[in-house]
Amino acid sequence: MLLAAIVKTLFIIGVAVGAFAPVITWVERKQSAVMQDRIGANRADIGGVTLLGLLHPLADVLKLLSKEDVVPLGANRVMHLIAPLISAIPAIASFAVIPFGGIYHFGDSTWNLVVADLDWGLLYIFAISSLAAYGGVIAGWASNNNWSLLGSLRASAQVISYEVTMGLSVVGIFMCFATLRLTDMAVAQDSTFRVLGFLEHFGWVSSLGALGHLTLPKWGIFLQPLGFVLFLTCVMAENKRPPFDLPEGESEIIAGYHLEYSGMRFGLFYMSEFIEVVVIAGLLTAIFLGGWSIPWLPQRTLIGAVTPVFGTGFATGLCMVLHVLTFFAKVIAMIWLQMQIRWTLPRPRYDQVMDLCWKIMLPLSLANAMVTAIVILALQGRAA
Amino acid sequence: MIPLEHVIGLSALLFAIGGVGALTRRNLIVILMSIELMLNAANLAFVGFARAWGGSAGQIFVLMVIVVAAAEVAVGLGIVIALFRNRESMNVEDVSLLKW
Amino acid sequence: MSGPQLFFYLFGAAAVVSALGMVLNVRNTVAAAMCLVVTMISLGGIYVVLDAHLVAALQIMVYAGAIVVVFLFVVMLLNLRRDAFPPERQRVTKALGVGLAIGVTWDFLRRMPGALPTAREVAPDFGGYRAVGRALFLEYPLPFEITSLLLLGAIVGAVVLAKRRLD
């Protein structure tokens, strides 16, 4: 049991932190270059072999490791040291509840491809990400620098504001799937629903006929499109991703709370931002894009189709590999989406960011929850 | 399982530390934080008793205490900010106009 | 000692040590606030050990993740200097106060074992969000509504208090 947990932890952290996060630094540079019609960074090479710039993350790490570790005069040394850690640890700890595969039965052993199958998994994610706020708050104050302090003030207010709407925007999803457990959500999204089924359900059309074959996978994004947009915005603002990166506003307050950090301390902040990108992508996948499930191909159908040819064990193993690959493919798609949004939108002003949270997102999330509740009650009322 | 006496003992200890902090310190913000600590100690006692005797009333009360604490912090810090604007001092002994 | 019990004592020790750190930290208000955060996270851990999962998540989300951030926000906004407080006087009164607190707590801890009724069996879904949520909305709707009014009053009060007068 413990060994399985350790292996799963090493796998997900190895893939997410070790493989994805460095590659995302490359993706950021190349995707922005392609969007801005230029070539991007491609000079780093080993013996004359440049791999389209894929060696740049390695070059970045070497550069950061070899820089002088500067702590500004008059700064609080302890706080200056622990602030990047407070930023990074919740980001990595969020991977504990994200399911990167389903539940597979091999004979009498059951493999549940998630590190911790918490009943309150989504609440755990919210709790952990609210702790990540302290990284930005403490970093600016500990640096004994006015610009850092301004960045910290902006960070603290922005993060705690968007925590509220982040929680409210997924209330609709809670109601649809009736669970907070991310594995149950992924399993619930493993089926399809008829798009025009509500017509037949409410009796407005007697039978759908051929149109009844028009099905969509029961993903969160199709059940809660507004919830998806709201959650995407809120979680990007919560993690201070551009375009909500006013706390690190590069053009206004130099580098905000990152200012007095150099070398590997900054490297840790930098890495934790990209780990957060993967966490956001993983969350969006698990809640809204069906997690590990292949669209229109439920697990049972896949295993049932392969078993007569190759046997149950091989079928389950193949299913597991395909599911894990699907999960990572969806995560990559969500990372791409975040990069697109980052390089397309300009940075709003700070009062616009706050207005967006309290005056637009909060009423919309509440309205979303109310409309979802009404629709669910109407559908249940008909079914009963 | 965790003996109930240990949970309540821990709660009493935290409450005493918070109480001493609220009565002894002169920094307004630390006084408010000590009050928060006392509320947390009370929460721990509620959860301990709820765990020992079942029922959901204990946990409901904890939710109410958390809400009250949040409201109190908001208003308390508003008062602190308003005070600071007038006096430029966070020392609670400077706010003694009504003292006899 | 089983795993959960070990965690309880670890978290309990962390909570007490950081509570002392908060109260005794004279110079640095931000360090005191961070000690309070450690206390609250430890208490959240203790709630998880006691099977009260929803309360633990809310403790960390609301208390550790929002309330203390507001404390830190105010401290940074007002930019308190470290030498704002003259050295402590009234040593005797403080010593008397601490002694009284220790005495009362010791007396309480001495009388407590054996004075509490015995523990009962709890429902298997104790502390889960379904059980607490059902209780909150089915058995205690009135406190729920009253707290929402309380929060409204607090929001209005905080805005009124902190607003700059425009005259």
**Total domains in the fold of chain B:** 1
| CB < 8 Å to C30, chain B | none
C137 inside 8 A of chain B by CB:
no
Residue of B nearest to C29 (CA): B30
Distance in Å, alpha carbon of C123 to nearest chain B alpha carbon: 7
Q: What is the ipTM of this complex?
A: 0.91
C55 inside 8 A of chain A by CB:
no
Assess if residue B12 is contained within a domain.
Answer: yes
CA dihedral A286, A292, A294, A298 (to 10 degrees): -100
Cα–Cα distance measured from residue C9 to residue C101, given in angstroms and rounded to the nearest whole number: 23
Assess if residue B72 is contained within a domain.
Answer: yes
Assess if residue B94 is contained within a domain.
Answer: no
Mean pLDDT of B39-46: 95
Contact present, B79 and B89 (Cβ < 8 Å): no
Mean pLDDT of A19-44: 85
CA atoms within 13 A on the CB side of A296: 5
Distance in Å, alpha carbon of A302 to nearest chain C alpha carbon: 33
For residue range A169-220, what is the model confidence (pLDDT) as tens digits?
999 999 999 899 999 999 999 888 878 777 777 777 777 777 777 888 889 8
Helix pair C129-138, B57-87: axis angle to 10 deg? 80
| CB < 8 Å to C116, chain B | 4-5, 8, 52
Contact present, A127 and A319 (Cβ < 8 Å): no
Of B34, B74, B77, which has the smallest distance from its Cβ to C23's Cβ? B34
Burial class (CB in 10 A: 0-12, 13-18, 19+), A54: middle
Task: Say if residue C121's pLDDT is above 80.
Answer: no
Annotate C61-126 with DSSP letters as a single string.
IIIIIIIHHHHHHHHHHHT--TT-SPPP--HHHHHHHHHHHHHHHHHHHHH-TTTSPPP----TTT
Please report which confidence band the pLDDT of residue C59 belongs to, taking 50, 70 and 90 as the band edges: very high
Distance in Å, alpha carbon of B73 to nearest chain C alpha carbon: 7
Q: Which of residues 105-124 of C touch B (CB under 8 A)?
A: 105, 108-109, 112-113, 116-117, 119-123
| CB < 8 Å to A79, chain C | 30-31, 34
Task: Say if residue C54's pLDDT is above 60.
Answer: yes
For residue range A247-259, what is the model confidence (pLDDT) as tens digits?
876 656 677 788 8
What does the pLDDT read at residue A378? 87
Task: Select the residue from B34, B75, B94 to test the C interface by mutation, using most C Cβ atoms within 10 A.
Answer: B75
The domain of B80 spans 4-89
CATH of the domain at B58: 1.10.287.3510
Task: Select the residue from C6, C34, C63, C92 to test the B interface by mutation, using most B Cβ atoms within 10 A.
Answer: C63
Contact present, A95 and A116 (Cβ < 8 Å): no
Q: What is the DSSP letter of A49?
A: B
Cα–Cα distance measured from residue B36 to residue A45, given in angstroms and rounded to the nearest whole number: 56
Contact present, A368 and A227 (Cβ < 8 Å): yes
Contact criterion met (CB < 8 Å) for C59 and B66: yes
Q: Which of residues 125-144 of A touch C (CB under 8 A)?
A: 126-128, 130-131, 133-134, 137-138, 140-142
Name the strand (E) or helix (H) holding A22. Answer: helix A21-35
Contact present, C45 and B40 (Cβ < 8 Å): no
A216 inside 8 A of chain C by CB:
no
Cα–Cα distance measured from residue A236 to residue A245, given in angstroms and rounded to the nearest whole number: 9
Against chain A, the chains showing at least 3 CB pairs within 8 Å are: C
C28 inside 8 A of chain A by CB:
yes
Tell me which amino acid residue A121 is.
G
Which of A308-317, A367-376, B46-55 is the most confident on average? A367-376
A243: preceding bond cis by omega (within 30 degrees): yes
